[in-house]
Amino acid sequence: MSKDAILNAIRRGLRRGPLPADQRAMLESRLHAHPRHLVPSRAKGPRAELVSRFIANATREFATVARVPDMAAVPGAIADHLAANNLPTRFAMAPHPELFALPWDTRPMLKPEARRAEASDTVTLTHGFAGIAETGTLMLPGVPERPTTLNLLPEQAMVLLRASAIVGGFEDAWDQLRARHRDALTDGFMPRNVMFVTGPSRSADIEQTLELGAHGPRQLHILLVDDDAQAV
Amino acid sequence: MKVESPEFQQRARDALANAGLQKALGNFKQGFPAKRAAAVAGLPEFERLRDVGRDIKNHTLAHLDFYLETFARNVERAGGKVHWCSTADDARATVLEICRRANARTVTKGKSMISEELGINAHLEAHGMEPVETDLGEYILQLRDEPPSHIIAPAFHLNREDWEASFRHSHTELPADREFGERRDILAEARARLRAKFLAADVGITGANFLIAETGSSVIVTNEGNGDLTQTLPRVHIALASIEKVVPTLEDTCTLLRLLARSATGQDMSVYTTFSTGSRRAGDLDGPEEYHVVLVDNGRSAMMGTEFQEMLRCIRCAACMNHCPVYGAVGGHSYGWVYPGPMGSVLTPTLVGVDKAGHLPNASTFCGRCESVCPVKIPLPKMMRHWREREFERHLSPPVARQALGLWAWFAKRPTMYRAATRAGTWLLRRLARGRGRFASLPLAGGWTAGRDLPAPQGGTFMAEYLRRKRGGA
């Protein structure tokens, strides 16, 4: 059987048999503790600094960021953004409780449809689980309330992100997911899919020259809700 | 993929004379090193992270059996299936079988070097399926029936005119007189064409930058989003990965990600870094119903415990080739197989045999730039030297080179003779140069002097100078 052949070849190379129980236990405990390594200083700092670093890094990677004072103001900010960019007001929206709870009736011309994205969608709106300051990256777990296709299929992807969900480094984002998500199938914390998204899709395959909008969204618009008193 | 490494010397000569390639290499040499340098300058901890990255990989390799078993167990817990494949034949047969059971006609693919190594496309085509490369660079190479020339920028050797010509030739359903005013027009046409393929695909095949033992996840890193569409839309996702891709935890992955994009494209982070774990969960509105990991050995386990084990730390960032003067002169196709540049010069002889790929470790100036930029500190020049030694031991180097080395060794073992001979040679060359200081051509070395002049010796031999200075002459 290939599995045994491969494992035995590895052990032959390492000049040992299967690991003894005490060494296995040591490795198990490393997995269990999943220790952090050197975390760069750009992943650390006071709240306000992390939020402004997130914005600066996301913008540098060609995302656009609109700061919105509170949840109630989100539909207005979306309407303004769509109008300014001449985009359709009908869009696919993640079936997430915080998005359902937005006061959509304040902007009746907006037509959010709670579902996954289809190839015909021009605009989508999803909910950001976390923002990572060190690189301006969004963490978007693919769960029933946040279908993955919303991140990929439209020309224009919008993401609602609470400022309080901005963390310093990648490790902090994983800690949030470890603490707050339960996967029923594995009884662990990993959903089927987790995307780290840093700016809109791009390619430099043609003559090493950057062009935005390769296969994914041409524009990534982050609606950043200022719900963090320490970070405004 | 066919191994054409034995023809390295001829291919390199052709590459040097290829004006289009040299133009593309000009762009290339300006671009990547400057971008990397800027990204590294923006992260003061980068050098220390290289040590951490090396240590993570060394730890993993020392316990590779344990981490592979843990990874496989966690994939299966998440509803996925792991297929262990010792050889390229096993892997091709496994992929074909999964595609057949899915009644696949169209198979989309994300960029994967292991897929090139295994020749997956040809195998699927031979069995009546349509594999479609979706990375923009890989897509045009598929249209042109060319292999990639770089591991992260597979089509950098093509210029804009080549793109336009290939698109006009292949996309015959579009008006022949359409204009490509900008690069974005080329991009838009590819996007529209490939969108249809993404939607039609029954199976999506991606590679993996990392496999995570702790969670049973495969990770892909892309800028275009094609890999994500490949693994999200079809009913079946196959992740192809070689066994050394496994790392223990998410935290280990975080460190390696901080090294990867900066070393590769000079980005702080690629646009999409995606962690896939098992198949679609109850309630999920999208994602594949089947998730397979095809775990490929194909020569890796035989590197364990040898002087080439450290090569298994490689995270395929391409920094070594981006900084290599030889690669920068002859491009990737000269190397004649999947992996070019310094990492290819070490890996190719390991995987296809030093008898076929012996030229590659010889095509090095040993300047050491590759090792100095490697994010996991692989001693690439040292390993190329190991290959040169093995090639010599196995009598694979050409007779003239062997005789010359034998002659040199005879003198080197007799210091008095050696000094006398170098003294005589220095004197002779100086006399022959007659004040010009250089030779434009030399008898028996016409090939060498065709591309450069030989400087004539100035002053005495090294030993003569050394003794003079030791006596206080300097």
Q: Which domains does chain A have, with CATH numbers?
A: 1-35 (no CATH), 45-231 (3.40.50.10420)
Mutate to test the interface with A, among B46, B144, B228, B295 (most CBs of A within 10 A): B228
Q: Please tell me the number of Cα atoms within 13 Å of B176 on its side-chain side.
A: 2
Side-by-side strand order, sheet with B130-133: B81-85, B290-296, B236-242, B203-206, B106-109, B130-133
Between chains, do A61 and B271 touch, taking CB under 8 Å as contact? yes
* A79/B220 Cα distance (integer angstroms): 34
State pLDDT tens for residues A55-95.
999 999 999 999 999 999 999 999 999 999 999 999 999 99
Residues 138-157 of A with CB under 8 A from B: 142-144, 147-149, 151-153
Residue B356 near residue B3 (C-beta atoms within 8 A): yes
In B185-280, which ranges are E strands? Answer: 203-206, 210-212, 217-222, 236-242, 246-247, 272-276
Residue A154 near residue A185 (C-beta atoms within 8 A): no
Mutate to test the interface with B, among A22, A26, A37 (most CBs of B within 10 A): A37
* B342/B322 Cα distance (integer angstroms): 10
Residues 271-310 of B with CB under 8 A from A: 271-287, 295, 297, 301-306, 309
Residue B434's pLDDT is what? 75
Mean pLDDT estimate for chain A: 97
Between chains, do A207 and B159 touch, taking CB under 8 Å as contact? yes
In A16-110, which ranges are E strands? Answer: 64-68, 90-93
Residues of B in contact with A201 (CB under 8 A): 223-225, 271-272
Q: Which residues of chain B have pLDDT under 70?
A: 435, 473-474
Whole-number Cα distances in Å, A232 to A51, A68, A158: 9, 11, 21
What angle separates helix B64-77 from helix A21-33, to the nearest 10 degrees?
60
Question: B3 to chain A nearest CA, in Å?
Answer: 24
* B20/B26 Cα distance (integer angstroms): 10
Residue B57 near residue B376 (C-beta atoms within 8 A): yes
Helices (H), ranges, B273-340:
319-322, 325-330
Q: Is A29 on the interface with B (CB under 8 A)?
A: no
Query: Which residues lie closer than 8 Å to A210 by C-beta, 6 or more apart?
Result: A202, A203, A204
Residues of B in contact with A149 (CB under 8 A): 232-233, 285-286
How do A137-142 and A111-114 pair as beta strands?
A: unpaired
Mean pLDDT value across residues A28-49? 98
The CATH number of the domain covering residues in B43-298: 3.40.50.10420
Residue B34 near residue B265 (C-beta atoms within 8 A): no
* B378/B149 Cα distance (integer angstroms): 22
Residue type, B134: T
State pLDDT tens for residues B333-364.
999 999 999 999 999 999 999 999 999 999 99
Between chains, do A10 and B65 touch, taking CB under 8 Å as contact? yes
State pLDDT tens for residues A180-201.
999 999 999 999 999 999 999 9
Residue type, B12: A
Residue A48 in tokens: 């306000």
Residues of B in contact with A11 (CB under 8 A): 65
Q: Please tell me the number of Cα atoms within 13 Å of B303 on its side-chain side.
A: 25
Whole-number Cα distances in Å, B210 to A152, B245, B320, B416: 21, 5, 19, 56
Nearest to A93 by CA among A73, A117, A71: A117
Q: How many other C-beta atoms are found inside a 10 Å radius of the C-beta of residue B416?
A: 8
| 3 state DSSP class of B159 | coil
Q: What is the DSSP letter of A143?
A: B
Q: How many other C-beta atoms are found inside a 10 Å radius of the C-beta of residue A178?
A: 13
Nearest Cβ partner of B286 from A147, A196, A208? A147
Mutate to test the interface with B, among A176, A205, A209 (most CBs of B within 10 A): A205
Q: Is B396 on the interface with A (CB under 8 A)?
A: no
Helices and strands in chain B: count of H runs, count of E runs: 23, 12
Estimate to the nearest angstrom the gap between the alpha carbon of A175 and the chain centroid: 14
State pLDDT tens for residues B95-107.
999 999 999 999 9
| 3 state DSSP class of B35 | helix
Residue B473's pLDDT is what? 58
Q: What is the DSSP letter of A200?
A: S
Round the CA-based radius of gyration of chain B to a whole number and report it. 25
Side-by-side strand order, sheet with A137-142: A166-167, A130-132, A137-142, A193-197, B272-276, B217-222, B210-212, B246-247
Q: Is A218 on the interface with B (CB under 8 A)?
A: no
Residue B391 near residue B356 (C-beta atoms within 8 A): no
* A162/A139 Cα distance (integer angstroms): 12
Q: What is the pTM of this model?
A: 0.93
| Length of chain A counted residue by residue | 232
Q: What is the DSSP letter of A38?
A: P
Determine the straight-line distance between the first and last CA of chain B, rounded to whole angstroms: 58
Residue B208 near residue B241 (C-beta atoms within 8 A): yes
What is the longest distance spanned by two Cα atoms in chain B?
86
Nearest to A143 by CA among B471, B281, B243, B323: B281
| 3 state DSSP class of A139 | strand
Nearest Cβ partner of A208 from B28, B66, B271? B28
Q: Is A202 on the interface with B (CB under 8 A)?
A: yes
What are the residue ranges spanned by the domains of chain B?
A: 43-298, 411-470
Q: Residue B218's beta-bridge partner residues? A: B211, B276
Helices (H), ranges, B278-323:
319-322
A213 to chain B: closest CA residue = B224
Estimate to the nearest angstrom the gap between the alpha carbon of B332 and the chain centroid: 9
